Chains A and B, each alone.
Chain A
Amino acid sequence: MITRVTHQSAQRTSLANLQDNLAKMAALQAQASSGKLINKASDDPAKAAEAMALRKEQRAAEQYARNAQDGVSWLTTVDTAIQSSVDFMQRARDLTVQGANTGAVGLAAREALAVEVEGIRDALLGQANATYIGRSVFAGTANGSAFTKDAVTGEYVAATSHGTVERRVGENTTVRVDADGAQVFGDGATSAFALLTSIAADLRDPGVNVSSRITEIDTRISSMLSQASSIGARTNQLTAAQEALSTQTMTLKSDLSGVEDIDLAQTIIELQMQEVGYKAALGATARVLQPSLLDYLR
């Protein structure tokens, strides 16, 4: 069918084309100014789902990184406490060795050694009750201090019935960030504190040679060191997790940008082309609508 063309239909068609051009230009302008390819789910439902999933992962990774940071701080506190404790125990060992040299050390000197050993015991207790933001790092999930002096027996008792403190650094990965106080320092009668107390008592007792205690100190130090090495391994684990998380965060960011963001150069070129098209349409419309037979009739 050959369509009849009238001024009105030509005008209507031109207007529709202009409108179409303008709408496309507005869409491109919206993309260019917002920087986003997907502003609502219907722009691309599949990509919208992807974007939502990526955002979720991003938020989770952010939180895991926070947890890992917190975990590292915990482990550092634990490590520092154990290292200082080992130093204290070394000092106590030195004193014990001095005290065992009964020929050279007199009673008064042994008394002085005993006092110093007691001082070390109290300092060690301070390390055993080390805290990170108000929480005892050797007390697990228990409230309050890791070691308390039993009022009846006078022994230092570790907090009991507690779980481990874990930090989640991945959907399926948790890392233990505390150390069991009883394993590091022993508990009650078998604790490092009890040991130091007995050494002090032995030093005061002229009939006893304290040299037999040296092995006990060595055993305690070695168990402390074995805990320290486990702490070191876990710190490494957390540091590795932190690195992985920071890489993941970057990857997720670029993935999200790939899904959601516009290619600026491409969009601007498209916008320019659309603008050229629009200008051409405007020019054509101006020409189409102008002439009429009336211009040529006298």
Chain B
Amino acid sequence: MSTFSGLSTALTALTAQRQALEVAGQNIANANTVGYTRQRAELQSVGSGQSATMFSQGSSVGNGVQVSGISRLGDLFLDARVRTTTSSAAFLATRAEAYGRLESTIAEPGTNGIAKQLDDFWATWQDVSNNPTSAAAGQVLIEGAHSVQRAISTGYSAVSTQWEQTRGKADALVSEINTTAASVAELNEKIRSISVSGGNANELIDQRNVLTTSLASLAGATVREHPDGTSDVSIGGNPIVSGIRAQKLTVVGGTTMVGATGADTVRVEWDRVPAGTTAALGGGELAGVLSVLAPADGQGTGGLLAEAAASYNALATKVATSVNSIHETVRADGSTGGPIFSISPAGPPALVLTVAVTDPSQINPGQGGEDGSIADQISQIGNAPGSPDEAWSSFVVATGVKAKAATQSAVVAETARATADNLQLAQTSVDLDEESVNMLAFQRSYQGAARVMTAIDEMLDQLINRTGVVGR
């Protein structure tokens, strides 16, 4: 043990405490940075070297302290939990949002919906039945028919607009996923090269975590960490980022609701050769969007927009056929009335439904003369079982029930996500009190080490300058 070793011990303390203080400073600086994980300087005492000489004297003291590393106080399991819950919360939130918007276009229950138009329409038939030859009543009836037709086609158009906007969102989401995946791959590369050279890539890892969480939210991505610091990101079990390489996704399928069925169903594929491999999604917003865009399956369990559109179509057909079938009854004199509504064979019935009568004289209220029996019969359509009104009302209620369920599960999933997020935050966020205490401790240690240095210096001063000067 040399005379000056105490000085170097004090020096290691000065260096280590200063470095630890710097880490505290970094933590405080990033107290509000999104995704930042608090760090800690790991201090380690340096032992004395084993001196195996025969002249070594007594037990030796250690050689001070060193910073063995700057650790990132994250938790892989908490991170994974955040990703899983985020993925399902994003999926359910997307569906709930779509239902909410669909409901707002339905406008039921209320005085502006299709139910009201139908009720009014049936009532006008009664007026026509009361005054079969009145042109005024006929004109009101024709207007009523137009109102019903407009209400149905407006509802359908709103659904189809929502579909197209959602389709646009799918494209935007996929390009966001591709950019994010590319950034993750880039970060992997940087992290690996820094880790290999023994550097500190904590901040880059934080950034990568933010990106992978956003991939989980977008497409239900899962993450696997590698010992070299890189991490693989998989979507539905297939890697979108593996090491420093990123794959791309692409949206294929129709761009209109009518066209996006069968082989043109909207889906996500891997953008590589050969094309045509469908990418399974584990959850996330994109999966939610795809489920919203799915085609109708005829059993009411298809995509919610396509099913809504199918209900509008069914309603249009039902209104037209139920009114026309009575209106076209063969009268006592052998003549028949023409159709009130016509549906051209091309296009969705809700959009191509038109009012065929243009003049009150084309209305056939009864068996001739002042008879209004046919109009009266038509006015009772709304009360019959299997009426268009019944179909519409059951569609509204079914949508309401599904929307409610979707909202509830979205709320539950969001609570789970918030809990996971809070746990992660509790683990990783910077506590200013804690950092203040640390700062205090490091500062004091630094002061102590400086004092040790002064003491040794005074000791040496005693030895060098004041020893052996007796009688001078």
Contacts and interface: CB of A to CB of B under 8 A. Distances in A.
Interface of A: 3-9, 12-13, 16, 38, 40-46, 48-49, 51-53, 55-56, 59-60, 62-63, 66-67, 70, 133, 135, 139-143, 162-163, 165-168, 171, 174, 260, 292-294, 297
Contact of B103 (A5, A7, A42, A135): A42
Given A6-B430, A292-B433, A52 B133 contact: no
Contacts of B376: 166, 168, 174
Given A49-B397, A141-B371, 5 more contacts: A6-B429, A41-B103, A42-B103, A59-B123, A292-B432
A40 B102 CA distance: 10
B369 A142 contact: yes
A141 B67 CA distance: 107
A48 B396 contact: yes
B432 A7 contact: yes
A293 B401 CA distance: 52
Interface string B186-223: 00000000000000000000000000000000000000
Contacts of B421: 12
B397 A168 contact: no
Contact of B426 (A5, A49, A56, A166): A5
B429 A56 contact: no
B99 interface: yes
B109 interface: yes
B383 interface: yes
21 contacts: A3-B426, A5-B426, A6-B426, A7-B432, A8-B32, A8-B429, A40-B106, A41-B396, A41-B403, A42-B99, A48-B397, A48-B400, A55-B109, A55-B111, A59-B119, A67-B126, A141-B367, A162-B370, A166-B376, A168-B129, A168-B376
Contact of A51 (B109, B120, B370, B404): B109
A66 B99 CA distance: 39
B119 A60 contact: yes
B381 to A, nearest CB: 12
Interface string B365-388: 011111111001001101100000
A41 B421 CA distance: 33
A188 B324 CA distance: 41
B60 interface: no
B71 interface: no
A4 B427 contact: yes
B175 to A, nearest CB: 30
Nearest to A140: B370
B126 A48 contact: no
Contact of B104 (A40, A70, A168): A40
The 8 closest A-B pairs by CB, nearest first: A41-B400, A45-B400, A42-B403, A59-B119, A6-B431, A8-B429, A141-B371, A63-B123
Nearest to A48: B109
Contacts of B132: 141
Contacts of A44: 400
A297 B432 contact: no
Nearest to A64: B126
Contacts of B397: 41, 45-46, 48-49
Contact of B432 (A13, A166, A167, A294): A294
**B interface SS class:** helix
A41 B108 contact: yes
Given A3-B426, A8-B425, A42 B404 contact: yes
Contacts of A162: 369-371
B89 interface: no
Interface in B119-143: 119-120, 122-123, 126-127, 129-133
B370 A56 contact: no
Contact of B383 (A66, A167, A171, A297): A171
A38 B31 contact: no
A60 B418 CA distance: 50
Given A4-B426, A143-B369, A294-B432, A42 B400 contact: yes
Contacts of A43: 400, 404
Contacts of B79: none
Contacts of A38: 109
A121 to B, nearest CB: 26
Contacts of A40: 103-104, 106, 108, 400, 403
A56 B382 contact: yes
A60 B434 CA distance: 72
Interface in B333-391: 366-373, 376, 379-380, 382-383, 389
B106 to A, nearest CB: 7
A71 to B, nearest CB: 9
A67 B108 contact: no
A51 B393 CA distance: 10
A6 B425 contact: yes
Contacts of B120: 59
A135 B369 CA distance: 11
Contact of B399 (A7, A41, A139, A294): A41
Contacts of B100: 42
A13 to B, nearest CB: 7
A52 B380 contact: no
A168 B379 contact: yes
Nearest to A58: B119
Among B104, B369, B434, B436, max chain A CB count under 10 A is at: B369
Contact of A52 (B108, B123, B372): B108
A7 B31 contact: yes
A12 B422 contact: yes
Contacts of B248: none
Contacts of B368: 141
A3 B106 CA distance: 46
Interface centre among B126, B423, B440 (most CB of A within 10 A): B126
B123 A60 contact: yes
Contacts of A167: 130
B455 interface: no
B318 interface: no
B437 interface: yes
Given A41-B396, A42-B103, A48-B397, A55 B116 contact: yes
A141 B108 contact: no
A168 B287 CA distance: 54
Nearest to A74: B130
B334 to A, nearest CB: 14
Nearest to B96: A42
Contacts of A8: 31-32, 425, 429-431
Given A40-B103, A41-B400, A56-B115, A293 B436 contact: yes
A97 to B, nearest CB: 40
B407 interface: yes
B51 to A, nearest CB: 44
